[in-house]
Structure 1
């Protein structure tokens, strides 16, 4: 299936594109501001549209409300002109219809798209998303979680009005949009987890207290803790890496503590790699994975999916360091020395052959 993805370079758009790449064979056509003028031709050449492009915040209320309506009108015109039935999956919000400029705009956008697909030219799935959070969210824009993470990293303390909020990790939101490609229902409402605003802040402070100074992994005994920790550590990358490990030496040799974890599953493995060989070349959707060189010399390379920039971290067993691979970043490790490389790998969960959360992709595209 050929899928047009609007808002592909935004927060939810990037995660949806990542999930489509990892879990499906669909051809994805990313559309942002630069491609918007080609929308009629692109829609006509597609089988389905996942419509994420929208306006969350702007200088005026009219820009928020009118922006969402205008985007829907453009898409509706392209749907009517496509000449064949299209499935439209709309990333709507539970705030639709709540009387705010954003809520009015999202509600009206859904009506416009519904009208465009009710004349025999397709099917609309209206996905009502709650507050979403996750890796690479924009502070002061995507969610209060992104704002809290940014404040934590900067060492600032925001004003907190504690209340209960339904939260959905962005990869779960992306899965709901993928589900919309298959279901016959007209509406889909993924279920959030309810957490306190103060609870979120306190968890971030718990993570930050030991992760930045010594690289200690916090308690990861619940899905929410894992999702929030992944969100937090994405904001630290790459400025706070590599993690410096401390050797303890005496006449017998040396001892290096590579991983400390306060709770949850965990699996440790090691590999030997001959000179010139590269391991890895994959990415994950949720797995927390640490690479630590024990002996020899290596480089670790990482690239954020759908970007070209490659980050390189040298590593040696003489001055041991570790890298925790961010979700959605392709990574590898190459033996750059003349001797066998010994590397320790740790992940927060046991390896499950039926669900390895490992998706092949080269770091370097040239």
Structure 2
């Protein structure tokens, strides 16, 4: 059973649960009647309680949507008579005296009381701000709002760029929740015993990313500019990889594609696909039947060539010798040819169809400093 199944975390969790065999998902959300809460609780084997109110102008809505709803759910579970595990998605705001925080503490108390009285396993998670795909912008998530507005050419407001956000990614949250369902983390904490000492420890999701608000905004604008300068961010950093994936999910539907511009280097036309700050450039080349491309060499540029379609030959010769090396390549037999610096080289189309090639270079082509010396192979 998943309460809040149509919400941000609920949708991501339901998507993961749908991949399991022999699992039926009981979805409870705003459109369901309270009677359905009882009916689902009667047959559920595990409850993910994600439903709640976290952004409202009405203080009473916090209490109704968090504490009272949780108490209703727990009452239904008590009536079933089985020790049904329940995982509660709470918030680090539960440590505050904000009406939202107090309502979350009330929800936690209801779940912990259920554990103490019945011995049922419970897992109470206090989550910081969660980001990822399907989070509603202009609601309660700065990351979602920034992604949506920047992707849609709308302004953002930053009152203090130095404010630090504690962020977790929704995939890590879902992975943690799924692990509890599948029993991957060993026995639960002895919540009932801890309660007798009036002390308990909530569960947490890792990794947590502490990022300044200004840093997040700068990264998102950097992602946006990448379409114009063809820059791909260094996604070796885990947070950048997750944020970039999140940003792309907020692109408007009519902007998933963008045009590339044809260029020429030493008479060889190509289309640059993308460039990176630290991993070089990737370009696409199309060579007509009978044509030859290249007949040049580079001082400090090296390349890798892969034929995607057609057939041809790559010939190389060190600039200080006459021996010519030939590598026959085709799309039907994928093979990468390394082209070192100091070697004159060309590619000839030997087939009767276009020769389509992908070329990686250790540095992007710069027309102001082409490092391309013409020389017949």
| Pairwise TM-score range, normalised by the shorter structure | 0.5 to 0.7
Q: Please point out which of 139, 145, 148 is paired with 1:147.
A: 145
Alpha-carbon distance between aligned partners in 2 of 1:265 and 1:8, rounded to the nearest angstrom = 43
Q: Which runs of 5+ in 2 are unaligned?
A: 192-201, 284-307, 310-352, 359-377
Alpha-carbon distance between aligned partners in 1 of 2:27 and 2:229, rounded to the nearest angstrom = 40
Residue in 1 that maps onto 2:62: 64
Residue in 2 that maps onto 1:179: 179
Quick check: 2:92–2:127 contact (8 Å CA) kept in 1? yes
Quick check: 2:274–2:281 contact (8 Å CA) kept in 1? no
TM-score (norm 1): 0.66
Evaluate the alpha carbon distance shift between residue 176 and residue 142 of structure 1 in structure 2; reply closer, same or farther with a 3 A threshold. farther
For the residue of structure 2 that corresponds to 1:205, the secondary structure is helix
Quick check: 2:132–2:246 contact (8 Å CA) kept in 1? yes
Residue in 2 that maps onto 1:332: none
Evaluate the alpha carbon distance shift between residue 21 and residue 264 of structure 1 in structure 2; reply closer, same or farther with a 3 A threshold. farther
Residue in 1 that maps onto 2:243: 228
- The C-alpha deviation readout for 1:123-154, integer Å capped at 9, x for no partner, is 21111111111122222324111122223122
Summarize the alignment of residues 105-254 of structure 1 with structure 2, pairs less than 5 Å apart: 105-120=103-118, 122-153=120-151, 154-161=153-160, 162-181=162-181, 182=183, 183=185, 184-185=188-189, 186=191, 187-191=202-206, 192-211=208-227, 213=228, 216-248=231-263
- The C-alpha deviation readout for 1:1-60, integer Å capped at 9, x for no partner, is xxx111111111111122333467643222212234311111111110011011011121
Alpha-carbon distance between aligned partners in 1 of 2:139 and 2:77, rounded to the nearest angstrom = 29
Residue in 2 that maps onto 1:52: 50
Range moving further from structure 2, 140-149 or 24-33: 24-33
Alpha-carbon distance between aligned partners in 2 of 1:134 and 1:233, rounded to the nearest angstrom = 10
Alpha-carbon distance between aligned partners in 2 of 1:214 and 1:266, rounded to the nearest angstrom = 12
Evaluate the alpha carbon distance shift between residue 263 and residue 49 of structure 1 in structure 2; reply closer, same or farther with a 3 A threshold. farther
Q: Which runs of 5+ in 1 are unaligned?
A: 269-293, 296-338, 345-366
Evaluate the alpha carbon distance shift between residue 264 and residue 136 of structure 1 in structure 2; reply closer, same or farther with a 3 A threshold. farther
Evaluate the alpha carbon distance shift between residue 240 and residue 195 of structure 1 in structure 2; reply closer, same or farther with a 3 A threshold. same
Q: What is the aligned residue count?
A: 275
Task: Please state how far the C-alpha of 1:257 moved relative to its aligned partner.
Answer: 2.6
Quick check: 1:214–1:243 contact (8 Å CA) kept in 2? no
Quick check: 1:246–1:257 contact (8 Å CA) kept in 2? yes
**What value does the CA root-mean-square deviation take over the aligned residues?**
3.4
Alpha-carbon distance between aligned partners in 2 of 1:261 and 1:43, rounded to the nearest angstrom = 52
Residue in 1 that maps onto 2:276: 261
Quick check: 1:55–1:64 contact (8 Å CA) kept in 2? yes
For the residue of structure 1 that corresponds to 2:32, the secondary structure is helix
Residue in 1 that maps onto 2:102: 104
TM-score (norm 2): 0.64
Task: Please state how far the C-alpha of 1:343 moved relative to its aligned partner.
Answer: 11
For the residue of structure 2 that corresponds to 1:224, the secondary structure is helix
Residue in 1 that maps onto 2:82: 84
Dislocated runs of 4+, deviation >6 Å? 264-268
Task: Please state how far the C-alpha of 1:265 moved relative to its aligned partner.
Answer: 11
Matched, 1:7 2:4: yes
Quick check: 2:275–2:282 contact (8 Å CA) kept in 1? no
Residue in 1 that maps onto 2:25: 28
Task: Please state how far the C-alpha of 1:260 moved relative to its aligned partner.
Answer: 3.1
- The C-alpha deviation readout for 1:207-264, integer Å capped at 9, x for no partner, is 11123x36542221201001111111111042312222334589x9853333333457
Quick check: 1:127–1:176 contact (8 Å CA) kept in 2? no
Quick check: 1:248–1:255 contact (8 Å CA) kept in 2? yes
Quick check: 2:260–2:272 contact (8 Å CA) kept in 1? yes
Higher share in strand: 1
For the residue of structure 2 that corresponds to 1:259, the secondary structure is strand
